[in-house]
Chain A
């Protein structure tokens, strides 16, 4: 599903003393069927950016096109003063059409295609059994109870929770298991675009690895995955492409190996451990080839190569 940001601005609390411009003139076409990481310091606009993709927020100005759906500003725009009467009329009609769209069923269809997993999604579990919780999404999008349950079971198995979990209460599960249930809830609606906001925060390394492997599998099955994260080690390891947000603007869009391995203080980012180590070796005079550096094993290969 093609996603395109055109002159997108977003302002929190406009025209008040608390006004803050979260996004400023974003123009970007997002890659499809890729594993894309969104990075940037706290407050750089990452969360606002992803909430525009599934229309939880609407831009203050500009628009976001997600497949057939266009996410326009909620407030009708005033016509420019220099228009003729007919032009003004056409402008108003167009604005009205846009406004109605916000209330239409299109937005529901959009959210079926774009799944967003919030940070700490386990806090959103609410049903009495795991399968009911996961089936909520598909049922809400119009599936019969049986169909929804079938999809729920499939999604649960996909995240690695077998049938012994189906009828348990989600509140009796461990932190990592709860998160898996929450992710299954999104997968059950089979979105074309999956956005995950800090999915590994608070998980132990093994559970984090499981979660990332799952997103990679989902991406390889044809879903576009957008990962919002602070963890540069994950970006180096999994992402095909990385988008850097800084101060409400996209300042870089490139493969991870192009971003990492240089001084990143200007973006308030840290290099992944492997690149950091490579950089320190370089400063001492040992230059490594970092073009395909993703993990410790790649780093060891690059060192062996350089020492030859």
Chain B
């Protein structure tokens, strides 16, 4: 099943301005980790708002879990939202509880999970993101990365089928960033049905994902596996996207005359190849 289907989606903030999202179509099958990359102003965030239902008037079609949302009534929308979890950019704007425990509990309370079960849930999900020792800490004692981990725990406790990251790591330091990505990849190993759509400008994250969509000036300009997408070096450069570290190094070595076979396609393999 396709978790997200978008057809000819178009949206402009006002009638006279250029569309922020311009005739975009793509599908995201279940169980994939998809990254959507593009520079600031490429339309990424607008697309996120469209998918999350923050913008409701648009041209084209959006289907979530096989259901066209234009035709969905309130009850259907509510049912869809139950299957989706969001993690936003700013860690300070999404911490709603006064402690880590309260924050994870917030969503569960909204779903009327009985109190006896709640504590178990909170522990399980705090542990999944490595925050079980911080349950009684308040947000001001946490780093940005830790706050985002709590946000992820809160989202996961609701058993979503789709998790949408809207630049969830862009305000974090490199260590926090790496933690979030490692946790996300680990969660997917545990639950192969979980679909992740991550809107990001981190090309390293995109390089590790299953499928990459590239947005520029509101249009979808490239899509495919990371290997396919990042082979378009020149096109990416033109729209101000860097190549991931591994590919830049490989290209630089090749330019200096080193012969590297095509099957060397990860950093680890390159490491081994160079030390042979």
List residues of chain A with CB under 8 Å of any chain B CB: 42, 174-176, 201-207, 230-232, 268, 270, 273, 277, 280-281, 284-286, 296-297, 299-301, 303-304, 307
Contact = CB atoms under 8 A, between A and B. Distances in A.
A175 B90 CA distance: 13
B89 interface: yes
A203 B40 contact: yes
B253 A303 contact: yes
Contacts of B248: 296
Contacts of A304: 253, 256-258
Contacts of A205: 39, 201, 203, 240-242
A301 B256 contact: yes
A205 B167 CA distance: 13
B210 to A, nearest CB: 22
Contacts of B39: 204-207
Given A204-B39, A205-B201, A304-B257, 4 more contacts: A203-B40, A206-B240, A284-B275, A300-B255
B252 A281 contact: no
B73 interface: no
Chain B interface: which size bin? Answer: 20 to 34
Contact of A286 (B89, B143, B170, B275): B275
Given A277-B267, A280-B271, A202 B171 contact: yes
A231 B258 contact: no
A42 B240 contact: no
Nearest to B203: A205
A206 B252 CA distance: 20
Contacts of B178: 270
Most chain B CB neighbours (cut-off 10 Å) among A175, A273, A280, A286: A273
B40 A175 contact: yes
Nearest to B268: A280
Contacts of A277: 245, 249, 267, 271
B109 interface: no
A232 B89 contact: no
B216 to A, nearest CB: 12
Interface string B232-276: 000000001110010011001101111000000001000110110
Main secondary structure of the interface of A (DSSP, over half): helix
B174 interface: yes
B173 A230 contact: yes
Contact of B173 (A42, A204, A206, A285): A42
Interface in B126-160: 143
B29 interface: no
What 7 A-B pairs come out closest when comparing CB atoms?
Answer: A230-B173, A206-B240, A300-B252, A284-B275, A204-B201, A204-B39, A296-B248
B253 to A, nearest CB: 5
Nearest to B144: A42
Contacts of A280: 271
A57 B249 CA distance: 44
A307 to B, nearest CB: 7
Contacts of B1: none
A303 B255 CA distance: 13
Contacts of A297: 252
Given A230-B173, A230-B175, A232-B174, A299 B252 contact: yes
Nearest to A173: B41
27 contacts: A174-B40, A176-B40, A201-B170, A201-B171, A203-B40, A204-B39, A204-B40, A205-B201, A206-B39, A206-B40, A206-B241, A207-B39, A207-B40, A230-B174, A232-B174, A277-B267, A280-B271, A281-B275, A286-B275, A296-B245, A296-B248, A299-B249, A300-B253, A300-B256, A303-B258, A303-B274, A304-B257
B171 A296 contact: no
A202 B256 contact: no
Nearest to A176: B40
A205 B236 CA distance: 12
Given A204-B201, A205-B201, A304-B258, A270 B175 contact: yes
Contacts of A284: 271-272, 275
Contacts of B175: 230, 268, 270
A304 B259 CA distance: 11
A304 B248 CA distance: 15
Contacts of A201: 170-171
B159 to A, nearest CB: 30
